[in-house]
């Protein structure tokens, strides 16, 4: 019932869900209600994360006793208007409700309202509205906000939500489209937006990495890699990653003999993303650091993350984190560093473990690499890499 171009604009790459509620067996009010939701609460844009949601309810009422179907719809619509009016007359500083805004030319009748919540732990706002055509009512709610990617968890300090003027404008547009669709439905005509193609094509397959010779900046790391991961040669691949040219080099040896009949595993991974400009590179680093904050200092499913650390003297901006892993995939400890330098974001991972000979890297008898060793190796690598770049 909505124009897909409009829903894509308001909620890009939305997850769409729908439900039906058949209430025709009720003895007080008889209706069937359809609910559709378009939601995306993780839209990355520059240095903020945006959240968007549209919720639509369409209810078709039926006659019950002496109450006609159209009268039942009018009762529901008038009840909504009464709630909007009460809210508009009883706003507080923490919970603001606008006065109802009535629209002409949107169905037979339509109304909208804006709500803003500014409490200590909650900051959000949305526009909502309701319309009616004959025995069908339609409701819409549109919520939009954004927050800095590096905001503290549960903090509302940097959160911004949709303004009253914008919310009412978007709700009016959506109500108008619903009114057109409901009118066509009642007249037995095709929905006006049904033939519109979806504006977003299916996600294209990510380019496959291409094997290449070690690039110069990785050749410059051979001496460091020879100490951290002895008896191995590095391998390199390149691929396009969004707007960035991405080159990755890796030195891996999981069968180094050590004392006590054990073998050692060491993994050194070096990633360089070259962006078209410094601002895009900075936003990428901010995005990665913001996502890392969600698990920092926690333990989930056999993986433990340290808090994020700032490392003085490495690039223009950076962060590092220690990770211990005991999962079906691997048993290891590692240190990871991201750093920004001009139009590049570089990433280093260095880690590993010791285990009994003839056992895989996910052996539960593994002894994790000491984190100070992982940190020292990662720091030496990224310092050398930045000089080479």
Residue 153: per-residue pLDDT? 67
User: Nearest-5° angle of CA 6, CA 7, CA 12?
Assistant: 115
Residue 151: per-residue pLDDT? 80
Q: How confident is the model at residue 268 (pLDDT cuts 50, 70, 90)?
A: very high
In this predicted model, what pLDDT tens digit does every residue of 53-78 receive, in sequence order?
999 999 999 999 999 999 999 999 99
CA distance linking residue 389 with residue 272, whole number of Å = 10
CA distance linking residue 79 with residue 98, whole number of Å = 17
| CATH number for domain 210-388, candidates 3.10.350, 3.40.1000, 3.40.50, 1.25.40 | 3.40.1000
| CATH number for domain 4-186, candidates 3.40.50.720, 3.40.1000.70, 3.40.50.1390, 3.40.640.10 | 3.40.1000.70
CA distance linking residue 132 with residue 113, whole number of Å = 16
Q: How confident is the model at residue 200 (pLDDT cuts 50, 70, 90)?
A: low
Q: Is-contact 175 110, C-beta < 8 A?
A: yes
The DSSP symbol for 67 reads B
In this predicted model, what pLDDT tens digit does every residue of 289-328 receive, in sequence order?
998 988 899 999 999 999 999 999 999 999 999 999 999 9
Min mean pLDDT across 10-14, 16-20, 22-26, 264-268 is at 22-26
CA distance linking residue 307 with residue 322, whole number of Å = 8
Per the DSSP assignment, residues forming a β-bridge with 221 are none
Extents of the domains making up the chain = 4-186, 210-388
Percent of the chain at pLDDT exceeding 90: 84
Determine whether 118 is exposed, middle or buried from the number of CB atoms within 10 Å of its CB (0-12, 13-18, 19+): middle
pLDDT above 90 for 172:
yes
**Which residue, chain included where needed, has tokens 């019950």?**
64
- DSSP-based three-state secondary structure for 116: strand
Q: What is the mean pLDDT of residues 85-102?
A: 95
Q: Is-contact 196 3, C-beta < 8 A?
A: yes
CA distance linking residue 107 with residue 175, whole number of Å = 8
Q: How confident is the model at residue 121 (pLDDT cuts 50, 70, 90)?
A: confident
Q: How confident is the model at residue 203 (pLDDT cuts 50, 70, 90)?
A: low
Q: What is the mean pLDDT of residues 334-361?
A: 97
Phi, then psi, of 322 in degrees rounded to 5: -95, 145
What DSSP string describes 262-313? EEEEEEEEEEEEE-SSHHHHHHHHHHHHHHHTTTTT-EETTEEEPPPB--TT
Q: Do domains 4-186 and 210-388 have the same CATH topology?
A: yes
- DSSP-based three-state secondary structure for 71: helix
Q: Give the number of other CB atoms < 10 A from CB of residue 232.
A: 18
Tokens of 152: 């503290």
């Amino acid at each position: 019932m909505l124009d897909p171009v409009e829903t894509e604009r308001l909620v890009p790459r939305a997850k769409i869900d729908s439900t039906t509620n058949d209430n025709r067996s009720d003895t007080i009010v008889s209706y069937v209600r359809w609910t559709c939701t378009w939601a995306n609460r993780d839209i990355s844009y520059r240095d903020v994360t945006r959240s968007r949601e549209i919720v639509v309810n369409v209810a078709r009422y039926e006659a019950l006793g002496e109450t006609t179907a159209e009268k039942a719809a009018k009762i529901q619509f008038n009840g909504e208007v009464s709630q909007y009016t009460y809210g508009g007359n009883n706003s507080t500083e923490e919970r603001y409700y606008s006065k109802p805004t009535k629209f002409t030319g949107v169905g037979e009748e339509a109304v909208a309202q804006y709500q803003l919540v500014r409490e200590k732990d909650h900051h959000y706002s949305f526009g909502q509205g309701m319309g009616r055509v004959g025995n069908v009512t339609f409701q819409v709610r549109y919520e939009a906000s954004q927050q800095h990617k590096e905001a503290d968890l549960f903090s509302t300090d940097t959160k911004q939500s949709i303004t009253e003027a914008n919310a009412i404008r978007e709700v009016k547009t959506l109500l108008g489209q619903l009114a057109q669709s409901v009118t066509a439905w009642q007249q037995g005509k095709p929905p006006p937006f049904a033939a519109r193609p979806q504006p977003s094509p299916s996600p294209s397959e990510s380019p496959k990495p291409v094997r290449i010779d070690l690039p110069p900046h990785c050749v410059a790391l051979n001496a460091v890699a020879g100490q951290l991961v002895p008896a191995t040669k590095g391998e390199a691949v390149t691929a396009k990653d969004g707007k960035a040219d991405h080159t990755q080099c890796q030195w891996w040896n999981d069968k180094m003999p050590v004392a006590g009949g054990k073998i050692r595993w060491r993994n050194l991974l070096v990633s360089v993303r070259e962006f078209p400009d410094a601002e895009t590179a900075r936003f990428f680093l901010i995005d990665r650091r913001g996502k890392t904050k969600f698990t920092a200092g926690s333990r989930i499913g056999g993986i433990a993350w340290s808090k994020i650390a700032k490392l003085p003297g490495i690039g223009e901006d950076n962060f590092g984190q220690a990770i211990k892993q005991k999962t079906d995939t691997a048993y290891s400890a590692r240190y990871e560093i991201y750093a920004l330098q001009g139009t590049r974001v570089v990433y280093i991972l260095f880690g590993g473990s010791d285990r009994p000979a003839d056992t895989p890297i996910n052996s539960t008898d593994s002894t994790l690499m000491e984190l100070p060793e992982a940190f020292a190796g990662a720091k030496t690598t990224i310092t050398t890499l930045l000089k080479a770049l």
